[in-house]
Structure 1
Amino acid sequence: MTEAAPILVLALLAITFLQSGYDKIKDWKGNVEWLTGHFANTILAKQVPMALMTILVLEIIAGVLCVSGIIQLFIQQPVTKGLGYYGAIVSCLTLLCLLFGQRLAKDYDGARTIVIYFIPAVLAVFLLS
């Protein structure tokens, strides 16, 4: 299997974003309440539900594209700039949005955690480009 590295990184991203999206759907109210407090002193204070919906949509798109990319890598090899590539790009954009929010909220530990996810997302872009 020559595509093991991209498949593993895409699996990491798919699990991360699909689980996160599922959690947002399952506990929408709890997420909105917590994030309203988290962003109380930022420009996002009155935008929390809309921002959360935007992140949710991005996460689901990223997760579905990453799963689709894994399937595509199994079915037709080699694939360049396939669905996994676009999944990795959307993953990076989603993580940048999350990083921006954490920095606005001055949650530097949270921002640091997002960077840990950003590294494999960029690696996936590199491996699939």
Structure 2
Amino acid sequence: MTLLGFPVLVLAKILFAAFNGILFTQSGLDKVFHYQGNLDYFKDHFKKSPLASSVGALMPTITLLETSAGLVSLVGVVLLLIGSDLANVVAASGMCLGGVSLVCLFFGQRLAQDYAGAASLVPYFLMAAGGLVLYSL
């Protein structure tokens, strides 16, 4: 079966990569362009957690992870659209980077005892895990 000129499996892969690309590119670039505001927020958010003294070092790490996840996923979208043999590997790599980002964020939220914030990451993580399974088909 095809939709919009693509086999449904390929269309699903494109949609997963596009969602991941938008999610993490926006989140990463927001941290780049509003670095100080985000840093201040995270310092306040984690001030009572074991991560309090590490926020300054962790902020560039999560920014790089998120931005990389988004941009690699967007490259994956393009490769999927043109039918490249590298498409699944690149899109899966973006999904994996996104999953790693989410695990890092989840860890931080749990340490900060922000259980609602941690719970809000679960659907995104399930999307990343599902995407990895999809790219393995």
Q: Given the two structures, how large is their TM-score scaled by the length of structure 2?
A: 0.88
Amino acid at match of 1:85: A
- 1:11 alignment partner, one of 18, 30, 48: 18
Partner of 1:46: 53
Bigger shift: 94-103 or 1-10?
Answer: 1-10
Computing the radius of gyration from Cα coordinates, the structure with the larger value is 2
Residue 76 of structure 1: CA displacement?
A: 2.0
* Cα RMSD after superposing both structures: 1.4
Gaps of 5+ in 1: none
Residue 61 of structure 1: CA displacement?
A: 0.9
Instruction: Verify the 8 A CA contact 1:68 1:83 in the aligned structure 2.
Output: yes
Partner of 1:57: 64
- 1:69 alignment partner, one of 76, 81, 102: 76
Q: What is the CA–CA distance in structure 2 between the aligned matches of 1:23 and 1:108, rounded to whole Å?
A: 23
Partner of 1:100: 107
Give identity over the alignment, percent.
36
Instruction: Verify the 8 A CA contact 2:76 2:87 in the aligned structure 1.
Output: no
Over residues 18-77 of structure 1, what are the superposed CA-to-partner deviations in whole Å (9 max), with x where a residue is unaligned? 111111112111111111111111121011121111000001110111011111111226
Any runs of at least 4 consecutive aligned residues in structure 1 with deviations exceeding 6 A, and if so which? none
- 2:37 alignment partner, one of 30, 43, 46: 30
Instruction: Verify the 8 A CA contact 2:109 2:117 in the aligned structure 1.
Output: yes
Gaps of 5+ in 2: 1-5
Q: What is the CA–CA distance in structure 1 between the aligned matches of 2:34 and 2:85, rounded to whole Å?
A: 40
Q: What is the CA–CA distance in structure 2 between the aligned matches of 1:24 and 1:52, rounded to whole Å?
A: 8
Instruction: Verify the 8 A CA contact 1:88 1:121 in the aligned structure 2.
Output: yes
The change in CA–CA distance for 1:106 and 1:10 in structure 2 (over 3 A counts) is same
Q: Given the two structures, how large is their TM-score scaled by the length of structure 1?
A: 0.94
Partner of 1:110: 117
